[in-house]
Chain A
């Protein structure tokens, strides 16, 4: 690794002192103090709700702190909005991507900053394009600024956002911008993450970075130093060179992370009969010739980079999207028409990866969410009336079983944390007494503590007879949970692995078949 850690990093870029911020009912930041020095890559770890994003939003001018002091390059700094932060050389790469897809790349780079290219009231596009081309070259990016933004992948658009920071900094003649990265890796495959990290390390000669991630391994790999936030407080500062994931985990949740995070000890080796089989499934433009079987009490994991077709495969197996070819067999009986309703009737359910939009309904209470797929099953005397009593019983059962933290079963789901929302989402489908559940990224965007609880729930369910198809971008999760692993690349299966407990495949072995 280049000696970036030994370069001159003494000058301070950002100092946050005793920052406090609360929202109605929640103290998000409690006298937090951190520092970022020139050329450093500083990470922040912490569970959901620990305050990491809030701090970044304050630094980016999106929120104003209730109290505390910010110093940028040793000068007082209190941006009233994001534009002001930009003017001071502070830029943020947003999780939801701050680019307008239908514009050209160069238009996005200079969005809201066009005044630098105006002469006599007319926009000088040639100059904009030239600046953009220079910037991309400078940053070693193979991106053509004259192409439309949506023609680039999520990952490439993220690089465009980062390059935006550098181009705008250059226009304002700011030497070393401060770039804030808020969970840039969720939504990226492992391969794309590697590329992102390479670039960030390359750019750290010319910028300072503040980086938030859920994934401890990423923080250790990328950052020079890191802070650990817990319940709105900065509880620890660490040099990443001498830190292990379990150390961080211990600070974050207060207990040592055990090897049994994925409860490999509970993996069921004596699986039952084959309960679900797909043969030669194909969908134009997504995947072809997909065949595999699932036994009772088994977990089959499907992995691959973003875009390999596994998400579409999940949607097709669930009956939500149409298959072009192939057959699906449940308990030996082939399914005539693969539709969502039919698959549900035959005992196959699907838990979508996009929890917020496709999974639970935030503006409805917990009990209405949990019972939604089951409504046709809990009738009153066979008539289409609702059985409110039964609904509440079912909800209460799952709130206890899954330890869902909610003030009441009638609380609106939007007020639950991500982890609890995911539990509600799972309860929804488990309540239907299915035989097979297809999960798409069940622990996306959830903190370590909640993940552990969900893994325990999955192990419970499998012990009780459920079979699971696990589609996930999280390699470690894929390896830790599955009995067998199927790897996809560009729409076809490239390899299958047995994954018995105690003899699990290494990540790089799997990645070989993904790229």
Chain B
């Protein structure tokens, strides 16, 4: 019996890690530029925003729910912070993050008190926020010119290491700690693995659910701010690709969609895989549309491999 337990756990991490190794070796041998330090820094720049969003997505998925509004939250917080830059300078970060947290809290409240499934709440919230964003920016991109603000993403506080990467790593470390070393984190796992039993054990299920959606919104807000700094503008629909990517990275990294297993520490693997795929395919001049197909295929394979079928009575 013990074999089943340990075998499943170690199988879990072997697959993504070996997949990364395969990708690195393949891309590296086809185009040695792939392995250069400059490209590594590129990779970090390209994946940091996703890393931050995906951590939020991980917590939601761990809890057994899903957040489809992350893209729209990135967009609206990117645009709002861009608008506030002239007035607040780097302080515009707060505006973006606040909008994200607020949107997330609304998601959580409607989910918990309105008893609307998270899939539906966040699916609906997406267009609502995108619409608001379009109204706010009047349909055109909001350009950011403040160098100080742009530096939060593109600057280099530590040698040549991109600032945006520092954000990603700090968020990653902090939230991995939260997941495994705090009460809140433990409750996210238990609710995802067994909501009724958690409730019967005295866990404030409703409170934890609302907090988690707030966290996801907050992190998406932060991601939006950093993304707009990186793109030097806030544009409508800029967050769209992150909806699928955040879920894909979470699942490819090893967190099960059914909830209760995995964790943010695994999401970094998923982010790296998705990042390497894009980065490598770019260097090989693979057509962008083909890249999207390949990403979709990888996601399905990852879900199929990690899905705990014993927990799904019926595949709907």
Residues of A within 8 A of B (CB): 24-25, 320, 340-341, 344, 350, 352, 357-364, 368, 372-373, 375-376, 379, 384-386, 388, 407-408, 410-412, 415, 428
A375 touches B2 (CB 8 A): no
B186 touches A386 (CB 8 A): yes
Task: Describe B's contact surface by its main secondary structure.
Answer: helix
A375 touches B186 (CB 8 A): yes
Check if B4 is an interface residue, CB within 8 A of chain A: yes
The 7 closest A-B CB pairs, nearest first, are A361-B194, A407-B2, A384-B183, A363-B193, A373-B201, A372-B201, A415-B1
B5 touches A361 (CB 8 A): no
Given contacts A341-B202, A358-B200, whether A363 and B182 have CB atoms under 8 Å apart is no
Chain B interface residue count, Cβ-Cβ cutoff 8 angstroms: 30
Q: How far is the CA of A427 from the CA of B194 in the complex (A)?
A: 18
8 Å CB contacts to A: which residues of B26-50? none
Please, which residues of chain B bring their CB within 8 A of the CB of A361? 190, 193-194, 197-198, 260
**What are 29 A-B residue pairs whose CB atoms fall within 8 Å in the complex?**
A25-B3, A320-B200, A340-B199, A340-B200, A341-B202, A359-B197, A360-B197, A361-B190, A361-B193, A361-B194, A361-B260, A363-B194, A363-B261, A364-B190, A368-B186, A372-B190, A372-B197, A372-B201, A375-B186, A376-B183, A379-B183, A384-B184, A385-B182, A385-B183, A386-B180, A386-B181, A407-B5, A410-B5, A415-B4
Q: How far is the CA of A387 from the CA of B136 in the complex (A)?
A: 47
Check if B24 is an interface residue, CB within 8 A of chain A: no
Q: How far is the CA of A193 from the CA of B235 in the complex (A)?
A: 69
Given contacts A364-B194, A373-B201, whether A25 and B189 have CB atoms under 8 Å apart is no
Q: How far is the CA of A25 from the CA of B4 in the complex (A)?
A: 9
Q: How far is the CA of A374 from the CA of B168 in the complex (A)?
A: 34
Check if B196 is an interface residue, CB within 8 A of chain A: yes
Tell me how many residue pairs across A and B have CB atoms closer than 8 Å: 85
Check if B123 is an interface residue, CB within 8 A of chain A: no
Q: CB-nearest residue of chain B relative to A383? A: B182
Check if B203 is an interface residue, CB within 8 A of chain A: yes
**A-contact bits for B190-218, CB 8 A (1 contact / 0 none):** 10011011111111100000000000000
Distance from A356 Cβ to chain B, minimum over Cβ atoms (Å): 9
Q: CB-nearest residue of chain A relative to B261? A: A363
Please, which residues of chain B bring their CB within 8 A of the CB of A410? 5
Residue from B190, B193, B197, B260 within 8 A of A358 (CB atoms):
B197
B201 touches A363 (CB 8 A): no
Please, which residues of chain A bring their CB within 8 A of the CB of B204? 341
B182 touches A384 (CB 8 A): yes
A375 touches B183 (CB 8 A): yes
Given contacts A340-B202, A358-B200, A386-B182, whether A363 and B311 have CB atoms under 8 Å apart is yes
Distance from A312 Cβ to chain B, minimum over Cβ atoms (Å): 15
Q: How far is the CA of A375 from the CA of B182 in the complex (A)?
A: 10
Given contacts A407-B1, A407-B5, A408-B2, whether A363 and B260 have CB atoms under 8 Å apart is yes
Please, which residues of chain A bring their CB within 8 A of the CB of B190? 361, 364, 368, 372
